[in-house]
A and B are shown apart, each in its own frame.
Chain A
């Protein structure tokens, strides 16, 4: 079920909340090529999103976007290798699967954020697509005050009431 809150559509499912984001809301620590536009599939644009996953011991923040660029796969890879290094990311994995496909995985030593980038060249469309995700884990423990207030509100047992 999609609901509107102001101008921003959001979607809730079990332990997840997905918010759609515009290009200017894209995380500034993961660069985009100036030519990058939102990837378009058969039915229309891919809705880039910011996802919050609520797990018992952590909240996972995950931003995902699917972008299209006219540059070649080699040029796109060069751009990310240079720009990610400038922003302090450390390369963890670097795979060139074929002439048309490549993937990079980064970790940021300061924030412990992870970035995963998958590239695909579409020759007939003369474009390269990049499926990029950035995730960050936030540890979670219920605040003590919250626990105490829950205890205070618990109704007394029947024996206690009878006394």
Chain B
């Protein structure tokens, strides 16, 4: 008898609970579906949050870094290719036949690009910027190593054709971008 009464009193409660659970489950499914179709891929979302023009500046920086690497690609960006009709320049890049004065000019350009990257993306580290640009961890290391190498080399050539203040400025820009130099 008691069991029968329990059945009568409990059944509506169980029924209501089951409906509520079903509604909640459907809501969760609907929400997750909506999120799936409206949320872009992480890389796309990251790239969108970089200031306009940053990609072009990074590409230009990599191009100048590439000049000291024999024209090799740096960080996945295209390497530097001198014009076909300029044999002297080709030889200079291919055989590291460049002078400290060339490095001085390249560092000037690199500093100029880095300054703009910092101004456009304040408070962001280079690692974060390159990650948002979609570079892999290995490409980020390659880009960073190339910058550190350029800073080391420029410092060694200072007073032999590289303006020391320029080498110093590169050091300060790298520190501002969170690149560890020592």
A residues adjacent to B (C-beta < 8 A): 1-2, 11, 13-14, 16, 18, 41-43, 46-49, 51, 53, 60, 62, 64, 66, 93, 95, 97-98, 100-101, 103, 114, 116, 118, 120, 122, 124-125, 129, 131, 133, 135-137
Contact B182 A137 (CB under 8 A): yes
Chain A residues with Cβ below 8 Å from B138 are: 95, 97
Task: Say whether B95 contacts A18, CB under 8 Å.
Answer: no
CA distance A124 to B95 in the complex (A): 7
Partner of A48, one of B97, B141, B156: B156
**Among the listed B95, B102, B145, which residue makes an inter-chain contact with A95, where contact means beta carbons less than 8 Å apart?**
B145
Q: Interface digits, B36-63 against A, CB 8 Å rule (1 contact, 0 not)?
A: 0000000000000000000000000000
Measured CA separation A93–B99 after assembly (Å): 31
Q: A47-B157, A49-B156, A103-B145 are in contact. List 19 more A-B contacts (CB 8 A).
A: A2-B159, A14-B168, A18-B158, A41-B97, A42-B97, A42-B102, A46-B153, A62-B182, A95-B141, A97-B138, A97-B142, A100-B70, A103-B141, A103-B142, A118-B149, A120-B72, A122-B96, A135-B182, A136-B182
When the two chains form their complex, are residues B165 and A46 in contact, meaning their CB atoms are under 8 A apart? no
The 6 closest A-B pairs by CB, nearest first: A135-B182, A42-B97, A43-B99, A97-B142, A42-B99, A103-B145
Q: Classify chain B's interface size.
A: 20 to 34
Q: In the complex the two chains form, is A43's CB within 8 Å of B161's CB?
A: yes
Q: CA A85 – CA B118 in complex, angstroms?
A: 38
Judge whether A66 and B153 touch: CB under 8 Å.
yes
Kindly list chain B residues whose C-beta atoms are within 8 Å of the C-beta of A103: 141-142, 145
Chain B residues near A2 (CB-CB < 8 A): 159
Q: Judge whether B72 and A98 touch: CB under 8 Å.
A: yes
Min CB gap B126→A, angstroms: 16
| Least Cβ–Cβ distance between A79 and chain B, in angstroms | 19
List 17 A-B pairs, Cβ < 8 Å: A1-B159, A2-B159, A18-B155, A18-B158, A43-B160, A47-B156, A48-B156, A49-B155, A66-B156, A97-B141, A101-B142, A116-B148, A118-B149, A120-B70, A120-B72, A122-B70, A125-B96
| Residues of A contacting B164 in the complex (Cβ-Cβ under 8 angstroms) | 11, 13
With both beta carbons as reference points, the residue of chain A lying nearest to B97 in the complex is identified as: A42
B157: A residues at CB distance < 8 A:
46-47
Q: Is B111 interfacial (CB 8 A cutoff)?
A: no
Interface string of B117-142 (1 = CB under 8 A from A): 00000000000000000000010011
B100 interface neighbour in A43, A60, A124, A133, Cβ under 8 Å: A43
List of A residues within 8 angstroms of B100 by Cβ: 41, 43
Q: How far is the CA of A2 from the CA of B168 in the complex (A)?
A: 16
CA A125 – CA B92 in complex, angstroms? Answer: 12
Q: When chains A and B are docked, how far (Å) is the Cα of A66 from the Cα of B182?
A: 17
* Cα of A11 to Cα of B129 in the assembled complex, Å: 35
Candidates B69, B94, B141, B152; contact of A64 at CB < 8 Å: B152
Provide the bound-state CA to CA distance between A64 and B69, in Å.
Answer: 18
